[in-house]
Structure 1
Amino acid sequence: MDEFEGNKKKYTPKQAKLKMESFCAYQERAQQEVRDKLYTWGLHSEDVENIIAELITENFLNEERFAKAFVRGKFRIKKWGKVKIIQHLKAKRISSPLIKIALREIDLDEYEENLDTLIQKKIGSQADSLSLSEKAKLMRYLQSKGYENDLIFQRLNRKNS
């Protein structure tokens, strides 16, 4: 056994469940996040799935609640667009139907305002005097924030007219 493995804490299923209750009570968690953590504590798959089932039953773990909180947080605080939010939810193994439900947390007017604010912060009042390379750089930035290409084009063209 190497050094790294020797440092990992091992828990009984009962201890692990108690720790997971506080882990989930602290902030919303995805099932996969909880599952991964339980496996790092040396639990077997049957124990892991039983603990997850109990956490769901006792309402410590709720995928829909997690997905909605994730969408609200990333949208309002980090100003992420839908594309990036969806990618991150999929990485956390949230189902497509739940992702659709969670995305309803985003107000379309506020979404477009966020995009306009990001554009404004980057270019200020010089929207019409941007060179092609500056526009390309702005596009890449907005895409990296997770906004859809057609919406970016629409907002930029509106600024130019």
Structure 2
Amino acid sequence: MKKEKQTSYTLKEATAKLMKFCAYQDRCHKEVESKLREMNMIPEARQEIIYQLIQENFLNEERFAKSYARGKFNIKKWGKIRIIRELKLRNISRFNIESAIREIPENEYLSTFHALAEKKWNNTNENSTIKKKKKVADYLFYRGWESNLVYEKLNELEE
């Protein structure tokens, strides 16, 4: 049986490694905690490192939530429902989630939604209007757009 190489880190080495990890892109506490577990750090060391990362502003949950929300909206064209759900999965506080959602300008949000819905509608090859509406609706719901927006838009596109 092959033995896996066990790497151990000093507190200083682990802290330096996590600083790089957090500097590369914003991270949430859950990702940092997971990384520290992978590195086999004891709970006291994990707490110490996380405390230091917060003190030196490498780890900032509000900044993470805001950049996550902006990125997923701008790049992946996700709606608020999906962004909120994903932030909750990362144990982000309700206050930080609300703050992150406010980062998305309402006019930009709606124009992105309309453009996305129209593009999907035009690119969906389906003879039956009902099937076409279902495909477009499923696509928009998967991306986390609100049902009232989706249904209003589908009724508008159908005409």
TM-score (norm 1): 0.90
Moved more, 111-120 or 76-85: 111-120
Q: Does 1:32 align with 2:39?
A: no
Q: Equivalent residue for 1:77?
A: 75
Cα distance in 2, alignment partners of residues 111 and 122 from structure 1: 17
Paired AA for residue 65 in structure 2? A
Q: Equivalent residue for 1:98?
A: 96
| Equivalent pair of 1:82/1:146 in contact (CA under 8 Å) | yes
- 3-state secondary structure, aligned to 1:25: helix
Q: Equivalent residue for 1:42?
A: 40
Q: Equivalent residue for 2:52?
A: 54
CA deviation after TM superposition for structure 1 residue 7, in Å? 4.1
For structure 1, the 5+ residue unaligned runs are none
CA deviation after TM superposition for structure 1 residue 158, in Å? 3.1
Q: Equivalent residue for 2:152?
A: 154
Q: Equivalent residue for 1:113?
A: 111
Q: Deviations over 1:57-111 (max 9, x none)?
A: 0111100000000000000011001111111111111111110011001111111
CA deviation after TM superposition for structure 1 residue 125, in Å? 9.2
4+ runs of 1 displaced by more than 4 Å?
none
Q: Quick one: structure 1 residues 2 and 118, their matched pair in 2 at CA, closer, same or farther if it must change by over 3 Å?
A: farther
Cα distance in 1, alignment partners of residues 123 and 46 from structure 2: 55
Q: Equivalent residue for 1:144?
A: 142
Q: Quick one: structure 1 residues 70 and 156, their matched pair in 2 at CA, closer, same or farther if it must change by over 3 Å?
A: same
Q: Equivalent residue for 1:123?
A: 121
- 3-state secondary structure, aligned to 1:119: helix
Q: Considering only aligned residues, what root-mean-square deviation do their CA atoms show, in Å?
A: 2.0
Cα distance in 2, alignment partners of residues 2 and 112 from structure 1: 56
TM-score (norm 2): 0.91
Picking from 6, 17, 28, the partner of 2:15 is 17
Number of aligned residue pairs: give it.
157
